[in-house]
Structure 1
């Protein structure tokens, strides 16, 4: 059945690899990428059509406009039924003082609130995939159920990070662990000590990824039946554009020095991370709703990431921050 998968962060890095994998491996998938310009439409598609919707993920107004356009195109039949959303875009700044047009801290806006707004505005447009059991599939010793219909769930995937663990094994000493505070504090600039430093910017990043996992758990409780939601961790992937806002030395290290770590178990190549992401998005990697997938397998996220009180508090705050303007 032809269907639509909406994806952010598809124009570079692991997202580009994942997008090309999805198009190559799923002939029924129509990929709609959300991008600042038309760069996402230039994917290596092998003749397949990729459409795009422009949006600045640092602006909730722009995200709302993009999601509204996607809804309209689905309703008008311009796009096939919606079966997936991959929230892969992410940013990391060299400080915790970068403010977007909504007056909110930009790391929190892009890594948490933009995904939340897409999920909430698209959730009633997701359709599960109808399939049939084989006519001769044996179900019990003396009965067959020919052509029994069942539905495979639609799937939402949010890219997170193992920096949310906050330990040397996962952060390699490069990114401070999360520093959880009230969402009303986290959503504003200056939430962390010495907010003008790179350490504060990286703390904002790891904290935003912890927040994303909290929301995945809350989505699993609240979203309608027939929609699965999964958090995906690619591991440490040097050579991507994540450090594009960092200082020159850090950018050089990410591009030229740290890629050698992919020869060790401590890092993941961009190609492997993209393939893993495609596996999760297409359902090849089986994972129940609300789960955490570490590269190619379901795993447990950090102990701190399981906190229903924080999850509910963050949900309420995200609903307030993304509410339509009066």
Structure 2
């Protein structure tokens, strides 16, 4: 039996925010000593940012680097099943914090996964649906928290989408980010054929984040009514704009000059003026992730969405019960979730 108090599972642990979150865990003695870190990456051999962080881990920190391909339903299910098996035998402590951090963003391209699904939607929404449903049996039933990373892009009415003169949602035909789950899943909405600019990919990213926020609400509602799981909290967090590598598929100008030079400098200045402003350093957002999982008192019976440290209202579509149910049911269907795959009573 592990002596750890619990496990902290972080997806996308080699990315900018993921590795910053791991660093925050490692430098917090209470977390590093009490919890086992389960850090997932697509390929362990190339996870240089995570490896660099773990090289400075205190000697008492138990951790594993797990390979998880979020663009593959087979990989997601296999990883969840492996963790469930080890928690059931006591080889791993229950999951205290499930941090669904990994994200995918395209710009002027459109990629389909091996499962035949639009990559952004599969990674940012569907994989999180499958992981959270399957791993519920391994969650700490008294204090467990599931954190889903959102974005201001999920709300076409959020004024931050117009920063710098951006007009990504200006045309009325792009203001509805939920044209239906199938259009998003099959990649037929906001394609490069519809719009050859980088805005087409950004819109699909925003739509996928809307689906993730819808998941936060729907999962939170269903868990709250479950007789054995109701103490598990579901939260969402907008980490703000950060100098991360999520824009690496963008133009050279965006991926290098803007994200590696301008945004890091801007973030250092802006965070002093407005801690929860549009642009934030990675360390600030990582601290907000850990705060949401271990410090915030989550309300019972409903999901909580935060913008940094501020409670924030989600988009109207995210709060639409009918649309959320349609997305949920479609997700179950394409992911082929069967009876026995989750301990959630009201899963269908």
Q: Settle same-fold status: TM greater than 0.5.
A: yes
Instruction: Specify whether residues 306 and 10 from structure 1 end up closer, same or farther in structure 2 by C-alpha distance, changes over 3 A only.
Output: same
Counterpart for residue 312 of structure 1? 325
Residue by residue over 1:123-146, the C-alpha shift from the partner in whole angstroms, topping out at 9 and shown as x without a partner, is 122123xxxxxxxxxxxxxxxxxx
1:57 Cα offset (Å): 1.0
CA distance in 2, matches of 1:127, 1:114: 21
In the alignment, structure 1 residue 270 sits paired with structure 2 residue 282: yes
Residue by residue over 1:33-70, the C-alpha shift from the partner in whole angstroms, topping out at 9 and shown as x without a partner, is 11123334552322222112211111111111111111
In the alignment, structure 1 residue 35 sits paired with structure 2 residue 27: no
Counterpart for residue 285 of structure 1? 296
Structure 1: gaps spanning 5 or more residues: 129-150
Most deviating of 294-303 and 305-314? 294-303
Structure 2: gaps spanning 5 or more residues: 170-174, 224-228, 339-348
More strand by share: 1
TM-score by length of 1: 0.86
Residue by residue over 1:272-294, the C-alpha shift from the partner in whole angstroms, topping out at 9 and shown as x without a partner, is 11111111122x12332411011
Contact conserved, 1:192 with 1:200, CA < 8 A, in 2? yes
Counterpart for residue 182 of structure 2? 184
Counterpart for residue 243 of structure 1? 247
In the alignment, structure 1 residue 78 sits paired with structure 2 residue 76: no
1:166 Cα offset (Å): 2.2
CA distance in 1, matches of 2:317, 2:248: 29
CA distance in 1, matches of 2:167, 2:22: 27
CA distance in 1, matches of 2:326, 2:212: 13
CA distance in 1, matches of 2:26, 2:167: 33
Instruction: Specify whether residues 234 and 72 from structure 1 end up closer, same or farther in structure 2 by C-alpha distance, changes over 3 A only.
Output: same
Q: Could you say what secondary structure the match of 1:34 adopts?
A: strand
Instruction: Specify whether residues 228 and 163 from structure 1 end up closer, same or farther in structure 2 by C-alpha distance, changes over 3 A only.
Output: same
Contact conserved, 1:175 with 1:203, CA < 8 A, in 2? no
1:245 Cα offset (Å): 1.2
**Where do residues 157-306 of structure 1 align in structure 2 (5 Å cutoff)?**
157-167=147-157, 169-171=159-161, 172=163, 173-174=165-166, 176-177=168-169, 179-192=177-190, 194=194, 196-223=196-223, 224-237=229-242, 239-252=243-256, 253-262=258-267, 263-264=269-270, 265=274, 266-282=278-294, 284-288=295-299, 289-306=302-319
Match of 2:16 among 5, 13, 17: 13
Contact conserved, 2:211 with 2:327, CA < 8 A, in 1? yes
- The alignment of Structure 1 onto Structure 2 pairs a total of residues equal to 300
In the alignment, structure 1 residue 121 sits paired with structure 2 residue 134: yes
In the alignment, structure 1 residue 109 sits paired with structure 2 residue 122: yes
State which structure, 1 or 2, has the greater radius of gyration over its C-alpha atoms: 1
Counterpart for residue 3 of structure 1? 6
1:167 Cα offset (Å): 4.2
**Where do residues 26-65 of structure 1 align in structure 2 (5 Å cutoff)?**
26=31, 27-38=33-44, 39=47, 40=50, 43=54, 44-47=56-59, 48-65=61-78
Residue by residue over 1:90-148, the C-alpha shift from the partner in whole angstroms, topping out at 9 and shown as x without a partner, is 010124621000000000000001111100111122123xxxxxxxxxxxxxxxxxxxx
Contact conserved, 1:87 with 1:115, CA < 8 A, in 2? yes
Q: Could you say what secondary structure the match of 2:146 adopts?
A: strand
Contact conserved, 1:7 with 1:33, CA < 8 A, in 2? yes
Most deviating of 187-196 and 307-316? 187-196
CA distance in 2, matches of 1:14, 1:100: 23
CA distance in 2, matches of 1:74, 1:236: 35
Backbone CA RMSD of aligned residues = 2.0
Instruction: Specify whether residues 12 and 192 from structure 1 end up closer, same or farther in structure 2 by C-alpha distance, changes over 3 A only.
Output: closer
Contact conserved, 2:24 with 2:283, CA < 8 A, in 1? no
Contact conserved, 1:4 with 1:29, CA < 8 A, in 2? yes
1:195 Cα offset (Å): 5.6
